Chain A
Amino acid sequence: MTARISRRTLLRGLGVTVSLPWLEAMGPLTAWAADGTPSKNPAPNRMVFLYVPNGMNMADWTPKAEGPDFELPHILQPLKDVRDDILVLTGLTADKARAHGDGGGDHARALAAFLTGCQPRKTDGTDIRAGISVDQVAAARLADRTRLPSLELGCEHGAMAGNCDSGYSCVYSSTMSWRSATQPLPKEVNPKIVFERLFASTPDGERLQRDARRKSILDFVREDSLSLNARLGANDRRKLDEYFSAVRDVELRIERAEKLPPIQAPDYKVPAGIPASYEEHIRITYDLIVLALQADVTRVITCVLANEGSNKPYPFIGVPEGHHDLSHHENNPKKKEKIRDINTFHTRQLAYLLGKLKSTREGDGSLLDHCMVVYGSGNSDGNAHNHDDLPILLAGRGCGTIKTGRHLRYPKETPLNNLWLAMLDRMDVKIAALGDSTGTLTGLSG
């Protein structure tokens, strides 16, 4: 048996905080990570969706050449070490993010339609509606395999007061996961809470006891509340249904936890909260994504790096202006340069994540080999607010189902949702259509 070394010990020994072969010295966290014979215990496929707002400076994003021999444009430069692990997908369209008679609100629609392929209902209040999102389709099917069916993360608080974009509810521009057409899932932005959800520090024995008590409390409240329905109006009954459905969900989660092998908590310093530095916030969030996938707590993750339409300034890279204000660049070259700098800042963070995934060994390959990481925006050019020719990048080999290292150009108006179908297919989730899909995107396998 090999001696295990804690990551902290390792770091202390080196006296530096470079990124190390991720967690390897701590021993495998899953069966397939330990097993050198992949056929016996193959690693599962995972999907991660990362969203950046306000579109991109497309001139500095889209590679000139197609196929395997493309050069990385300015924004993609930080990805040079993982160039052969990515696909750049050009020409995809989120048609449902367009107005279609609903007027302004391209930011809200861009995020709401991104994973759903559904036109969000224009409302800033009570009757929000979009569609089920691709991650939640997968999560519903894979729910019994992992402790958490899915994880919804973000690096900027959502839900500000007032309508957020031209009469669209704030929810549209702050979350991209929709469990159903009417139930958006809030994203968690506090790394401390994420860590606790992933790796609750309660010892197993105590947890079992606690879960048993929780089950009996849930039994009680359900039975105790059944009689309420008769004395509630229709909308109240809907709210109560929502409550009951959450009760069922928590019960299922408890039951799943009883059956699944215990999670091995990694030796990672529990995050203290939301870091003041945005870059550190993103990096910790990315660390947690790697940890969650590595320990197989979940196989489906979404992360909104900043709300759509975010007006966050980036003074730490010399951009004190708000992102959204800048994105209305009016073709002013200085503004476009700053947009490019923001875009590049974000791909630098992406490089960090992909690097970590790649350096994490798993079975016969790396964790990245067993992932499909989508990175992109539902807006193309922030000034024009166009939703065709979206900036989309797909990283990871999807358990050998994807031939990476290429730039693919698709015919104009190819639905983005076709890509989602192709990814679901690779998760062994077969569905005929999702949102505005017209078929399964071809060409990913080479």
Chain B
Amino acid sequence: MPVRQLILVIVTTLVLARSYPSVGDTGTSPAGTEPTFATEGSGFLQKHCLSCHSGDKAKADLRLDKYRDEAAVIKDRKTWQRVLDVLQSGEMPPPSKPRPGLAEVENFTKLIGLIFKQHDESTKPDPGRVTMRRLNRNEYNYTIRDLVGIDFNPAEDFPSDDVGHGFDNIGDVLTLPPVLLERYLAAAESIMDRAITPNPPRPPNRGVATQYTEPAGPNVPMKGNFRVVSGRAGGTPIETGPIFTRYQVPADGEYIAHTQVYVETSGSKPVKVALLAGCSPTCPLAAKDAEADTIAGAAAKGLRPFVILKTFEVKARNESAAEHLQAAIPAGIGPDKVAVALVKPEDGEPAPTLYVKFLSLEGPLDTRPASHRRLLACDPNKPEAERTREVLGRFASRAYRRPVTAEELDRLVALAESRRQAGEKWEAAIQFAMTAVLVSPKFLFRVELDDRPDSPDPHPLDEYQLASRLSYFLWSSMPDQELFDLAANKQLTPNLDSQVKRMLRDPKAAALVEHFVMQWLQLQRLSTAQPDPKLFPEFNEPLRAAMLRETKLFFTEIIREDRSILDILAGNFSYLNAPLARLYGIADTAGNKIASNPKDRKPGGKPFKPDEFSRVDMTGTGRGGILTQASFLTVTSNPTRTSPVKRGRWVLEQLLGTPPPPPPPNVPELEENGKPLTSGSLRARMEEHRKNPACASCHAKMDPLGFGLENFNAIGAYRSKDGEFPIDASGELPGGLKFSGPEQLRQVLLTKKDQFARCLAEKMLTYALGRGLEYYDRRAIDRIVADLAAADYRFSALVTGIVKSDPFRLRRGRTP
């Protein structure tokens, strides 16, 4: 059975992953015949290694003669990892020495692998220890957004973060050079400048001369600078008002309406004038019918709903005595119009005339930003010292992601008070103390304080620390109030399942796609890919953006709908817009190919729009899953051509977790009979290349995977020819498993779902922990993968498995 054969081959030839020194399934030898290091192992060393690597003058300072038994080997795991690496890559023994046979190397590798495996299975579980992580740029931005409530990319100017183990959130690797601290200072200042306004500006006052007020028309009745509003019944809206002007302002502010008027009347009673504010139909203060009916003017009906702010008895009878009227507009109205009107005169009174100079709206009266009010919210009647404590305590507890201690709060309060004593306003003093919080290592690092930092025994994180691990894993940001509340009541651990589900549904989980998936699949490189414009004129910025977006939407659905992780390999859906659909040769949103006969098309397809992504059923399109997405296909290509090696290597490394070793140094030049190989199809040239035994063993694993995707060109469009040469998309993997084309390649990969699940679990655990995996993490991975398989590979099961694993919830101090 070829599939089984293939798995066997993978298992035996890729025994040791480089970054994750697990020892692989080396299989168990029949009982009683187990080889020992002292016999077989030493024999191999003696025969192939010790002539150089022994004694005081051992080459590369590597003394292999000092390893006489299993115990000695186990002590130097890293050294042995290297030894196996160079043996397997054929780097050692050097070409000048006789080479051991393949079987000989394999047996020795198995033996060493077995030694470590047996050791690891018999030792105590070890959750490892995570080095405290500095917030990286993304985490800093998101955390500021959630902590302060302003979203403006303050980390834009930070130097880029160092990457280790494939991710930019690895505690040991994230350094803090002085230039970054300077940026932190500057960012904290600018964040607090925006968030808090100790000296709020005066409220804006937006006025309009009445000539330009509504109801508008070619001949607005004016007398000098005053608009004339007649009180006579039966006049037009333009003549009789109410006159008004429109505004668009936030509803939560308080405002003041202003106007300047005088009146003329032949009657004896005072003339009443009202200031009105137009509002939304749901506005509770809107004038009822009877009340609204008191307002004069043909435009009054059309003005409704409105609030009658205030009614005035106007005495001024001429321009020079014109009166200034003003009325407060309470919060919640959000006036869309300000109007002035005559109130209908009492029965029998003659119609007065109103003269209006301007209308204006002042406000919002509180010009402090929302973040200011939120951060400084407190009971204004309390004494200042209490307010300071309340406000700073609340902020620091959220910034440090755990309750602030009394001592810490004392120091912060003292810092604020020192500014007060220097003569600053209370708001400025608080602002200063908050700036200091944003530069504190307690904010900049995810500090996990530990009462037993040196204890070798595994002990759990506290609940606040767990909340932070969870939220930075799934959201790249600080915990929200619900997580804080659960942690405060020690209820997070029992509720991990439901919290994971809740958090994955939250829009903030987009960070998991944006930062985990993009780094795992190395797709950020797409932003700098530069396909040759002569060869690929259709590649442009919108297409580049569409490629990325497709993959992000694809993963977003997998996460949001809690689909199987196997959909990553073979999901028969995707998201396309017009440029991408054109590249893929797809005609409509039903997934019909452009080349297909219109009679055979699936029904219900609509044309694509350039700026809108539609979900597309990809069945029958020849595409499905990440391997046929243009993002991956482009990122693994050279500017002028595809690179089956890069594509194959990507599959091995990112999907199967078995990166090929780096090429041995001094690879001989690729020449045949003194002539460089410049002719023939790419495939033919590469087959030549693989005749070289130094290259063959690894390229036999990489190249066929890439060949299977040769029908996709360097930007992911389908092709049947490469230049003049027809594409041969067949491949044969070591062990004889043959396939042809992307569809069969996909099926081959699906047979390795366990290996894929393990690889994804390893990558995701690395990202979640912020540290590289070690041999002792194998147990956790085994369990996560088993649970994942039992849950039909659902995405949430993977996340839950990680979150509940020992390395995620526990830690130790020193190495045991």
User: Counting CB contacts under 8 A, is B553 at the interface?
Assistant: no
A383 within 8 Å of B by Cβ?
yes
Does B532 make an interface contact (CB < 8 A)? yes
Known contacts A161-B524, A162-B166, A250-B185; is-contact A224 B662 (Cβ 8 Å): no
Residues of B within 8 A of A233 (CB): 129, 131, 450, 453-454, 813-814
Knowing A161-B522, A221-B441, A320-B639, the reply to whether A167 touches B449 (Cβ < 8 A) is no
Give a binary string over A221-263; 1 marks a CB under 8 Å from any B CB, 0 the rest: 1011101101111111011101101110110010000000000
Q: Across the interface, do B441 and A228 meet the contact criterion of CB distance under 8 Å? A: yes
Q: Which residues of B contact A124 (CB under 8 A)?
A: 19, 164-165
A125 pairs with B165, CB closer than 8 A: yes
Contact in complex: A170, B163 (CB < 8 Å): yes
Closest to A151 in B: B179
Residues from chain A with a CB closer than 8 A to the CB of B442 are 224-225, 228
- Give Cα A247–Cα B676 distance, bound, in whole angstroms: 57
CB of A313 closer than 8 Å to a CB of B: yes
Known pairs A125-B19, A233-B453, A313-B639; A183 contacts B662 (CB<8 A): no
B449 contacts A231, C-beta separation under 8 Å: yes
Stretch with Cβ within 8 A of B (4 or more), from A49-57, A102-110, A370-378: A102-110
Would you call A213 an interface residue if the criterion is a C-beta within 8 Å of the partner chain's C-beta atoms? yes
Which single residue of chain B is at the shortest CB-CB distance from A237?
B453
CA–CA, A245 and B677, complex, Å: 55
- Bound CA span A213–B528, Å: 40
Specify the chain B residue showing the minimal Cβ separation from A243: B441
Is A205 an interface residue, CB under 8 A from the partner? Answer: no
Chain A residues within an 8 Å CB radius of B407: 227
Given A223-B411, A239-B132, are A126 and B441 also a contact pair (CB < 8 Å)? no
Contact in complex: B172, A231 (CB < 8 Å): no
Interface size in chain A (residues, C-beta < 8 A)? 80
Q: Given the interface contacts A313-B530, A315-B533, does A159 sit within 8 Å of B176 by beta carbon?
A: no
Q: Cβ of A322 and Cβ of B638 under 8 Å apart?
A: yes
**Binary A-proximity of B444-484 (CB < 8 A = 1, otherwise 0):** 11011111011000000000000000000000000000000
Is A242 a contact of B176 with CB atoms below 8 Å? yes
- Which residues on A sit within 8 Å (CB–CB) of B440? 221, 224-225
Beta-carbon contact of B168 and A159 below 8 Å: yes
- Per the bound structure, the CA–CA distance linking A104 and B168 in Å amounts to 24
Question: Do the beta carbons of B177 and A186 come within 8 Å of each other?
Answer: yes
Whether B159 sits at the interface, judged by CB under 8 Å, is yes
Cα distance, A280 to B11, chains bound together (Å) = 51
Most chain A beta-carbon contacts within 10 A, residue among B173, B411, B813: B173
170-209 of chain A: CB within 8 A of chain B: 170-171, 179, 183-186, 188, 190, 193, 197
67-117 of chain B: CB within 8 A of chain A: 85-86, 89, 91
Given the known interface contacts A225-B442, A240-B441, A325-B638, the answer about A235 and B60 at a Cβ–Cβ threshold of 8 Å is: no
- Interface digits, A142-186 against B, CB 8 Å rule (1 contact, 0 not)? 000000000000000111111101110111000000010001111
Determine the distance from Cα of A225 to Cα of B532 in the docked complex, in whole angstroms. 53
Contacts of A224 in B (CB 8 A): 408, 411-412, 440, 442
A240 contact set on B, CB distance < 8 A: 132, 441, 445
B346 within 8 A of A: no
- The complex places the Cα of A100 from the Cα of B59 at a distance, in Å, of 9
With CB as the reference atom, state the residue of chain B lying closest to A333.
B676
Say yes or no for A217: interface residue by CB 8 A criterion: yes
Q: Given A218, A236, A312, which contacts B131 in the complex, CB threshold below 8 Å?
A: A236
- Is B60 a contact partner of A101 (Cβ separation < 8 A)? yes
Q: A106-B665, A385-B665 are in contact. Are A161 and B175 (CB under 8 A)?
A: no
Asked if A425 lies at the interface with its beta carbon under 8 angstroms from chain B, I say: no
Closest to A189 in B: B160
Q: How far is the CB of B403 from chain A (nearest CB, A)?
A: 15
Beyond A124-B164, A231-B449, A321-B640, is A100–B60 a contact (Cβ under 8 Å)? Answer: yes
What residues on A are CB-neighbors of B453 within 8 Å?
Answer: 230-234, 236
A332 CB–B CB distance under 8 Å: yes
Bound: A233/B445 CA distance, A: 14
B335 at interface, CB cutoff 8 A: no
Assess A221 versus B131: contact at CB under 8 Å? Given A186-B159, A231-B453, A315-B533.
no
Inter-chain contact A101/B176, CB cutoff 8 Å: no
Q: Chain B interface: which size bin?
A: 35 or more
Residues of chain A with a CB closer than 8 A to B179's CB: 185-186, 188, 197
Q: Contacting A126 at CB < 8 Å: which of B172, B415, B450?
A: B172
- Give the docked Cα–Cα distance between A158 and B524 (Å): 12
B382 contacts chain A at the CB level, 8 A cutoff:
no
Assembled-state Cα–Cα distance A126/B766 (Å): 13
Question: In the complex, what's the smallest C-beta–C-beta distance from A120 to chain B, in angstroms?
Answer: 14
List of A residues within 8 angstroms of B129 by Cβ: 233, 235
Determine which of B176, B436, B519 lies in contact with A161 in the assembled complex, contact meaning CB atoms within 8 Å. B519
The answer, among A161, A223, A249, A315, for a CB contact under 8 Å with B178, is A249
In whole angstroms, how far apart are the Cα atoms of A99 and B59 in the complex? Answer: 13
* Residues on B with beta carbons closer than 8 Å to the beta carbon of A179: 177
Which of B161, B167, B171, B532 has a CB less than 8 Å from the CB of A315?
Answer: B532
- Residue from B164, B180, B189 having most chain A Cβ neighbours under 10 A: B164
Closest approach, in angstroms, between the C-beta of B139 and any C-beta of chain A? 15
Q: Tell whether B181 is near chain A: CB-to-CB under 8 Å.
A: yes
Q: Does B157 contact A (CB under 8 A)?
A: yes
Contact with A along B673-711 (1 / 0, CB 8 A): 000111000000000000000000000000000000000
Q: Which residues of B lie under 8 Å from residue A231 when comparing CB positions?
A: 449-451, 453
Proximity string of chain B (564-595) to chain A, C-beta cutoff 8 Å, 1 when within and 0 when not: 00000000000000000000000000000000
**A246/B176 in contact, CB under 8 A:** yes
Q: B194 at interface (Cβ–Cβ under 8 A)?
A: no
User: What residue in chain A is nearest B671 (Cβ atoms)?
Assistant: A330
**B432 in the interface (beta carbon within 8 A):** yes
In the bound complex, CA of A188 to CA of B439 (Å): 22
Which of the listed residues B176, B178, B444, B676 has the most CB atoms from chain A within 10 Å of its own CB? B178
Identify which of residues 513-555 in chain B touch chain A, using a CB-to-CB cut-off of 8 Å.
Answer: 519, 522, 524-525, 528, 530, 532-535
Nearest-CB distance from B183 to chain A (Å)? 9
* Chain B stretch 107-136: residues in CB contact (< 8 A) with chain A: 129, 131-132, 134
- With a CB–CB cut-off of 8 A, which chain B residues contact A238? 131
Q: Does A214 contact B (CB under 8 A)?
A: yes
Q: Which residue of B lies closest to A323 (CB)?
A: B639
A127-B172, A239-B131 known; A250 and B160 CB under 8 Å? no
Which residues in A have their C-beta under 8 angstroms from that of B176?
A: 239, 242-243, 246
When the two chains form their complex, are residues B771 and A158 in contact, meaning their CB atoms are under 8 A apart? Answer: no
> In the complex the two chains form, what is the Cα distance from A364 to B62 in whole Å?
57
B180 engages A103 (CB within 8 Å): no
A170, A193, A315: which contacts B157 (Cβ < 8 A)? A193
B748 to chain A, nearest CB (A): 24
B151 interface residue, CB < 8 Å from A?
no
B-side contacts of A214, CB under 8 Å = 185
CB–CB A250/B164 < 8 A? no
- B669 contacts chain A at the CB level, 8 A cutoff: yes
CA distance A217 to B170 in the complex (A): 28
Q: Does A103 contact B534, Cβ atoms closer than 8 Å?
A: no
CB-defined A-B contacts under 8 Å, sample of 17: A99-B665, A125-B170, A125-B173, A126-B131, A161-B166, A163-B19, A165-B662, A169-B162, A186-B160, A224-B411, A234-B453, A236-B448, A315-B639, A321-B532, A321-B640, A330-B669, A385-B665
17 additional contacts (CB under 8 A) given A125-B19, A159-B162: A99-B665, A125-B164, A159-B160, A161-B168, A162-B522, A213-B432, A217-B439, A220-B436, A221-B440, A224-B412, A232-B447, A232-B449, A235-B171, A239-B132, A250-B185, A320-B535, A332-B676
> Interface of B with A (CB < 8 Å)?
18-19, 59-60, 62, 85-86, 89, 91, 129, 131-132, 134, 157, 159-168, 170-173, 175-182, 185, 189, 407-408, 411-412, 415, 418, 432, 435-436, 439-442, 444-445, 447-451, 453-454, 519, 522, 524-525, 528, 530, 532-535, 638-640, 653, 661-666, 669-671, 676-678, 771-772, 813-814
Shortest 8 CB-CB contacts between residues of A and residues of B: A166-B662, A126-B172, A320-B532, A104-B662, A101-B60, A249-B178, A235-B131, A246-B181
